Structures are given as C-alpha cells and as structure tokens.
C-alpha cells in the first residue's frame, strides 16, 4: 500500500497525444500544440542517440506520460527485475507526470509475446496483480495507473467483473486507474454487455487518465461483431459518445489520443485532440454529486 | 500446466488446438476469438522485423520476408520487451535456411542492418576534436584512443555495404568482392561505409586497447598500402574518437 504523501499523477485535464517521432518537427513548430505527450517506455530504453535527445527536448516543453507495454503485470512468474530497473531509471531521468501499465500479461518463461494477453478475474489473479503492483510502486517510488484491457474472450473461471476487479486492485495497492473508453466499447461489443453500465460501475474517482483510440471490425464464428483494438484509425462516434457519458460523471480528466498503426500526419492527430478538447469543454467544472444511472 | 503456459502454447502455432475454458459473452467456446491474439503477435512482430531489416525485406520480397518472419518468430521468440533488440540473431537464422544458400550475403546484410540499429540507440559520447591529434608523431603513435559507443565494425566475405546501398540508397549494383563495413554516427544518423584494406585491423586493434602505433602496424601487416590519414580524418569527422579509458569502448 502506498503512503498518501507519495507523488501522485500530475497530467493536466486536457488532451494529449501518443508521441510519434515522425511528428517531432511539427510538434516543436506548432504554436498551439497539445498540453502533454505519452510515450511507450520500451522505445526509450536505449543508451542514447536521437530517441533520448528528442525526449529530453520534449520534456522541457510538455508534461510527459510514460506508458509501459512490456512489464507483464499479470504474468504468473515474477516481474522481470531488469526491466523494472530500466523503468525506474527512465522515470528517475525523465520525471514524468504519470506512469501507467496494463492489466494484462505479455511474458512467459522469459519469452516476450508483444501483445496484451488476457487474465481470468479470480482471487488468485487479484493477489498476483496486487503483489506485482506493490513491487512496481515500491521500486519506482511512484504511483502507477493500471489500464483496463480490450477483451476478445472471457475465462470460464472468472468470478469478478472487471470494474469491481480494478477497483479492488486500486483499493489494495493505492494505484490509480487508466480508463480506456475505446477498450470499454470494444470489450462491451465483443462480450455483449452495456458500455454505459460499465462506466457507471467504474470507480471514476480513481481515474488519472482516459485513453481514446480507433479499432478494426471483424466477426466471430457465429457472425457476431468482433472488434479489434488496433489503434490504426480515428476514434468512432459511439466512443466519443461514451466519453461524454464518462466525463459527465467523472468531471474533466486528462484525455489521450492513441494512434499507433498507419499513423497519420500531425494535422489529423491534432484534429482528434481538438475533438477531445471540445468534449472537455462540454463538461461542467463541477460535476453533480450523483448522476442517475 | 499453468493457465498461462496453456494459453501461450497455441499462440505461435496456428495448427495447435486452442486452449480450453475460453468463452464468448454467452458462455459458448471462444473459437476464433483466440486467433485475435495469434494475429496480433504474428503481425506486430512481423512488422517489427520488416521495419528493422528493410534491405533484407527488399532483397527477399514482401511475401518471402513475411514467411521467413513467421518462421523466425517460432524459432526465436523475443526474449525482451525492448523491441529494439528483436532480430539480433536474424542474420544467423537466415544463414541456416537451406533454400537461401544461393543468397549467401543475406546474413551479413542482416548483421549490417542490426548494427545500424544498435548504433542508433548507442550511448552518446564526447568526441575528440581534430586538435587532439595535432601532436608530435611519436606521442601520437604512443597514444591510445577510445571509439564512441555508436561505432560498429562488420567484416564480410561479401560486398555488404554495396548491397545495402544498392537497396536502400540507390547505389550502383554491386560487382562482388569482400567488404569491411564501418558504421559511424556523427550526430544521430548512423551511416555505413566501406573500409579500405587494413582499416578493420586498425580499428579492431584500437578497440582492444592497443596504441595507435601498434594498430597502424596491424593495418600495414594486412595491407602495405594502408593510409592512416584519411581514416583518422573520417573518424574525427564522424565524431567516432573519444578519450581512451581503461574500460572503453
């Protein structure tokens, strides 16, 4: 459990974007760029050169969020101590406004599978995830945010629903949560639950950041829609509507546009961030104490 | 077998039966929903390899490269979350593929591309200014020099730099012959070039911590015509020389 006086997440309640090196010159030249940038931690674990030089320059102008994609928080084995130490080194060097990771696993027996793999929501998983988050927060000396996954299937043995599971992890470890509303929409479509009901059950007070991204459409063996979290296109209208539904209950939050594949030019990404700004502008500064579900 | 071992078991093998106990929202077997993970892994790692080895990808053609990337993934899955390290053994792997024996240079082209990537991410170092070498010849020959962490040397029986340049930088079609490659990163962009005969021996000796004089002798032993001045000028211009330290480079 974290002490309450440890540094908390400090991203502004404004839009940010996932940083891509091909946008560097345009971001630096933009008179009104976004307020903050998110990087994937693993891309900045080299020893030097252009990636770290650009990141250093950006960190002088922008709040930075470090988003890990390789820690395997839900892994059955112990956390990779070398990787955790590189993460601490990056955070100590960069002083990011936020650090986040995923409720997922990606490594097994020292193999790294480069995907966010799903977890059964059981008491055993809960204990393991909490122990790993305690270790991450102890080693890095900072609070982390844990992100809800995109689900394509469920485990027959699960006994918790996802919002309750995430709430319990946050309660036990003192970590914050990263709410990806596209992931909620994808999982809700794929598993047949109400995305609005998920948001209403989610512990929004613990949310330090909201993600928005695009998905692809496929179908399962029965011809039912199967959405895939591809981060390769614009955010769709139903996800923007789900964001409004969320912000009306949570109040303003830091919003991130994620676009990792088929990355568009800076103006397109910037326009998505403006749309997120518009969503924030519609949120009353003071959220009603209780909104009926 | 643990749950994750079972889940992992079929991820890299599309022919393996899917794990049990995975369901859709109505409790029916998950079926091809599991394949989303198989596809994500194969696609993302195939793309990572193609991005890391553009000259090899061009030489093989997109379809062949994709098939080889899938074989490589099963033979040597990544062992680190740092994708910048993925493909370290790709050159050796290509040389072990029987159908590729008629393209014996592929392994070295892959090694050159991986070395370019290593150079790109290598640590920064304070480079020696040209004036540092403007000392009396005896002092210079007795000196030891460090090489910047971004410097890479590759010895090849093939015209590896010319093949790379032909595919990546619009160079002329290579005629043949062996080439020693030197990669320098003057600021942020690593650039490969061909070393004149003796250059590889010279730089290898420097890297071992020999004096400049001993390194020069090693170069001359290989190639009597070896000329030190243009190589030193090139190394200075490429910010490749650093102060000698016992533990460097």
Proportion of chain B above pLDDT 90, given as a percent:
92
Q: B4, A48: Cβ pair inside 8 Å?
A: no
Residues of chain A with Cβ-Cβ distance to B48 below 8 Å are 114
Whether residue A288 is contained in a domain is answered as: no
- Whether the per-residue pLDDT at B49 is higher than 50: the answer is yes
pLDDT in tens, B52-96: 999 999 999 999 999 999 999 999 999 999 999 999 999 999 999
Helix/strand/coil percentages in chain A, nearest 5: 40, 20, 40
What are the extents of the domains in chain B?
1-21+29-103, 124-249
User: For chain A, what's the residue count?
Assistant: 293
Q: Which chain B residue has the Cα nearest residue A41?
A: B82
Shortest distance, CA B139 to any CA of chain A (angstroms): 32
pLDDT confidence of residue A286: 63
User: For chain B, what's the residue count?
Assistant: 249
pLDDT confidence of residue A8: 43
pLDDT confidence of residue A2: 42
pLDDT per residue, tens digit, chain A (293 aa), is: 444 333 345 899 999 999 999 999 999 999 888 999 999 999 999 999 999 999 999 999 999 999 999 999 999 999 999 999 999 999 999 999 999 999 999 999 999 999 999 999 999 999 999 999 999 999 999 999 999 999 999 999 999 999 999 999 999 999 999 999 999 999 999 999 999 999 999 999 999 999 999 999 999 999 999 999 999 999 999 999 999 999 999 999 999 999 999 999 999 999 999 999 999 999 976 665 555 54
| B176: region left, alpha or beta (phi > 0 left; psi from -120 to 50 alpha) | left
- Span B111-125, mean pLDDT? 98
Measuring CA to CA, how many Å separate B8 from each of A33, A124, B22, B24? 42, 19, 13, 19
Say how many C-beta atoms besides its own lie within 10 A of residue B27's C-beta.
Answer: 8
CA atoms within 13 A on the CB side of B126: 4
pLDDT confidence of residue A5: 37
Whether residue A5 is contained in a domain is answered as: no
- Span B172-182, mean pLDDT? 92
Domain CATH code at residue A27: 3.20.20.150
My answer on whether omega of the bond before A124 falls inside 30° of 0, hence cis, is no
Give the total number of structural domains in chain A.
1
Shortest distance, CA B198 to any CA of chain A (angstroms): 29
Whether residue A293 is contained in a domain is answered as: no
Provide the H-helix boundaries in A50-161.
50-59, 81-94, 123-140
Residues of chain B with Cβ-Cβ distance to A80 below 8 Å are 81
Torsion sign, CA atoms B135, B141, B143, B147: positive
pLDDT confidence of residue B247: 63
Q: A80, B2: Cβ pair inside 8 Å?
A: no
pLDDT confidence of residue A130: 98
pLDDT confidence of residue A71: 97
| A72: region left, alpha or beta (phi > 0 left; psi from -120 to 50 alpha) | left
Q: B30, A152: Cβ pair inside 8 Å?
A: yes
Q: Which of these, A83, A121, A82, A122, lies nearest to A101 by C-alpha position? A: A83
pLDDT confidence of residue A288: 56
Structure token pair of residue A98 = 């936020």
Residues in B 2-61 with any Cβ partner in A closer than 8 A: 2-5, 7-8, 11, 21-28, 30-34, 36-37, 40-41, 44-45, 48
8-state DSSP, B141:
H
Q: Which residue has the higher pLDDT, A164 or B171?
A: A164
Q: Are A177 and A142 in contact (CB under 8 A)?
A: no
pLDDT in tens, B219-236: 999 999 999 999 999 999
Note whether A117 contacts B: Cβ–Cβ < 8 A: yes
Whether residue A1 is contained in a domain is answered as: no
Note whether A89 contacts B: Cβ–Cβ < 8 A: no
Q: What is the ipTM of this complex?
A: 0.94
pLDDT confidence of residue A83: 97
CA angle A171, A177, A183 (to 5 degrees): 130
Q: A190, B26: Cβ pair inside 8 Å?
A: no
Whether residue A88 is contained in a domain is answered as: yes
Q: Are A64 and B165 in contact (CB under 8 A)?
A: no
Q: Which residue has the higher pLDDT, A176 or B170?
A: A176
Phi, psi of B5 (to 5 degrees): -65, -40
Residues of chain A with Cβ-Cβ distance to B83 below 8 Å are 42-43, 114
CA distance A99 to B71: 35
Whether residue A3 is contained in a domain is answered as: no
SS3 A265: coil
pLDDT confidence of residue B160: 97
pLDDT confidence of residue A290: 56
Q: Cβ neighbours of residue A78 under 8 Å, at least 6 residues apart? A: none
Whether residue A201 is contained in a domain is answered as: yes
CA distance B168 to B65: 16
| Enclosing domain of residue A226 | 15-281
Note whether A111 contacts B: Cβ–Cβ < 8 A: yes
pLDDT confidence of residue B135: 93
Q: B150, A106: Cβ pair inside 8 Å?
A: no
pLDDT confidence of residue A287: 61
Please tell me which of the candidates B78, B149, B188 has its beta carbon nearest to residue A114.
B78
């Amino acid at each position: 459990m974290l002490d309450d006086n440890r540094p908390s997440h400090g991203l502004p309640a404004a839009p940010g974007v996932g940083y891509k090196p091909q946008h560097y010159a345009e971001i630096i030249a933009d008179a009104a760029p976004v307020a903050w940038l998110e990087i994937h931690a693993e891309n900045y674990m080299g020893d030097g050169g252009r990636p770290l030089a650009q990141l250093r320059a950006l960190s002088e102008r922008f709040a930075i969020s470090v988003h890990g994609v390789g820690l395997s928080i839900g892994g059955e084995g112990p956390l990779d101590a070398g990787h955790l130490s590189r993460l601490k080194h990056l955070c100590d060097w960069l002083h990011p406004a936020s650090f986040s990771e995923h409720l997922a696993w990606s490594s097994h027996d020292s193999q790294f599978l480069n995907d966010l793999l799903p977890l059964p929501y059981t008491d055993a998983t809960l204990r393991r995830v909490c122990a790993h988050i305690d270790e991450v927060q102890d080693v890095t000396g900072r609070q982390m945010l844990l992100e809800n996954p995109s689900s394509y299937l469920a485990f027959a043995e699960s006994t918790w629903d996802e919002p309750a599971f995430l709430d319990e992890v946050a309660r036990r470890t003192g970590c914050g949560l990263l709410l990806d509303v596209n992931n909620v929409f994808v999982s809700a479509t794929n598993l047949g639950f109400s995305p609005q009901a998920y948001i209403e059950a989610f512990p929004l007070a613990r949310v330090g950041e909201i993600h928005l991204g695009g998905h692809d459409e496929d179908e399962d063996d029965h011809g039912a829609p199967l959405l895939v979290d591809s981060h390769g296109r614009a955010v769709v209208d139903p996800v923007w509507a789900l964001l409004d539904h969320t912000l009306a209950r949570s109040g303003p939050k830091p919003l991130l546009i994620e676009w990792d594949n088929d990355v568009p030019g800076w103006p397109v990404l910037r326009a998505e961030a403006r749309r997120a700004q518009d969503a924030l502008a519609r949120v009353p500064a003071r959220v009603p104490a209780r909104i009926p579900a | 077998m643990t749950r994750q071992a079972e889940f992992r078991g079929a991820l890299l093998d599309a022919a393996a039966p899917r794990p049990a106990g995975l369901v859709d929202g109505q409790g029916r077997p998950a079926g091809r929903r599991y394949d989303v993970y198989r596809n994500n892994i194969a696609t993302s790692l195939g793309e990572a390899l193609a991005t890391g080895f553009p000259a090899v990808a061009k030489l093989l053609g997109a379809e062949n490269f994709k098939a080889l990337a899938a074989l490589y993934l099963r033979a040597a899955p990544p062992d680190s979350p740092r994708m910048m390290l993925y493909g370290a053994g790709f050159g050796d792997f290509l040389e072990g593929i029987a159908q590729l024996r008629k393209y014996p240079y592929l392994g070295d082209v892959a090694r050159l591309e991986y070395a370019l990537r290593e150079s790109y991410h290598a640590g920064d170092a304070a480079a020696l200014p040209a004036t540092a070498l403007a000392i009396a010849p005896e002092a210079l020959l007795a000196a030891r020099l460090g090489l910047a962490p971004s410097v890479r040397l590759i010895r090849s029986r093939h015209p590896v730099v010319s093949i790379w340049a032909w595919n990546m930088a619009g160079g002329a079609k290579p005629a043949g012959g062996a080439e020693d490659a030197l990669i320098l990163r003057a600021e942020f962009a690593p650039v490969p070039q061909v070393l004149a005969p003796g250059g590889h021996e010279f730089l290898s000796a420097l890297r071992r911590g020999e004096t400049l004089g001993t390194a020069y002798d090693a170069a001359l032993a290989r190639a009597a015509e070896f000329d030190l001045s243009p190589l030193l000028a090139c190394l200075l211009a490429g910010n490749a020389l650093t102060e000698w330290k016992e533990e460097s480079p």
